[in-house]
């Protein structure tokens, strides 16, 4: 069991458990928007959008806290792309940012890196892996693969592992070929990424698609490659 936000949850069922909050959350948000003068249809739409952001943030926080707890006895450290976008970064985080940035000519941008795992030694930073956290996919199915391919283009970032962590609540990538028809998104994600970790019980497990609780051991194994 894992404690996050006052809830004791099993990480593999976190999406289902948080979904139980949905009815109360939406009711409160709809009333909030109605009080601000929005029509009921607008209030419902805004409340649903807010919920999608809320549950995504909660899942990301749970994963971050779990990883931080289970990697505390290693020399690995964690941060987020949100933290790296803030002003007044420490020298350490400024190094992380520079070692992760992707060049677009005269511009530098950070990839979609909800969680960043790195190692600091003698004022040098080595980024071990980034984790993209998605509750569902919709039109953003290939976003993580895009960043993986961009990272591979530079010798500085080419060895960074890119992982996807998801409860895949709508079963969009849980199975490779439901009903005998290959699911393109799942096949491509599995081929291009370094690992997919499911926060759920029912999915097709392969060498690259695993239960989320295996991610800690896989990250620790990366240290052996140094």
Has residue 160 been placed in a domain?
yes
Has residue 41 been placed in a domain?
no
Per the CB < 8 A criterion, the answer to whether 124 and 158 are in contact is no
Q: Which segment of 18-32, 97-111, 131-145, 161-175 scores lowest on mean pLDDT? A: 131-145
Has residue 36 been placed in a domain?
no
Has residue 78 been placed in a domain?
yes
Domain count, the chain: 1
Has residue 212 been placed in a domain?
yes
Per the CB < 8 A criterion, the answer to whether 117 and 215 are in contact is no
CA Rg value for the chain? 19
The most confident of 17-26, 116-125, 149-158, by mean pLDDT: 149-158
pTM of structure: 0.86
Has residue 46 been placed in a domain?
no
Of 218, 214, 212, the residue nearest 15 (C-alpha): 212
- The answer, yes or no, to whether residue 78 has pLDDT greater than 90, is yes
For residue 114, give its domain range: 74-223
Tens-place pLDDT, residues 188-222 = 999 999 999 998 888 999 999 999 889 999 999 99
Has residue 90 been placed in a domain?
yes
**Tell me, what CATH number does 219's domain have?**
3.40.1350
Question: In sequence order, what DSSP letters do the residues of 51-115 get, joined into one string?
Answer: HHHHHHHHHHHHHHHHHHHHTTTTTEEEE-HHHHTSSS--HHHHHHHHHH-EEETTEEE--S-SE
Has residue 103 been placed in a domain?
yes
**Taken in order 63, 218, 152, 190, is the CA torsion positive or negative?**
negative
């Amino acid at each position: 069991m894992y404690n996050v936000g006052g809830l004791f949850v099993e990480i593999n069922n976190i999406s289902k458990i948080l979904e139980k909050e949905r009815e109360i959350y939406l009711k409160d948000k709809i009333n909030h928007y109605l009080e601000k003068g929005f029509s009921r249809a607008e209030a419902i739409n805004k409340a649903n959008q807010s919920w999608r952001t809320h549950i995504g943030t909660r899942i990301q926080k749970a994963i971050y806290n779990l990883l931080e707890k289970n990697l505390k006895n290693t020399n690995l450290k964690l941060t987020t792309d949100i933290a790296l976008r803030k002003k007044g970064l420490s020298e350490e985080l400024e190094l992380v940012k520079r070692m992760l940035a992707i060049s677009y000519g005269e511009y530098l941008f950070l990839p979609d890196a909800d969680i960043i795992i790195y190692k600091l030694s003698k004022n040098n930073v080595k980024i071990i892996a980034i984790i993209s956290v998605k509750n569902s996919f919709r039109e953003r199915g290939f976003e993580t693969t895009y960043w993986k391919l961009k990272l591979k283009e530079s010798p500085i970032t080419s060895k960074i592992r890119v992982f996807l962590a998801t409860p895949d609540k709508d079963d969009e990538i849980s199975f490779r070929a439901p009903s005998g028809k290959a699911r393109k998104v799942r096949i491509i994600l599995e081929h291009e990424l370094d690992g997919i970790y499911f926060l759920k019980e029912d999915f097709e497990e392969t060498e690259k698609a695993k239960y989320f609780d295996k991610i800690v051991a896989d990250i620790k194994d990366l240290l052996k490659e140094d």
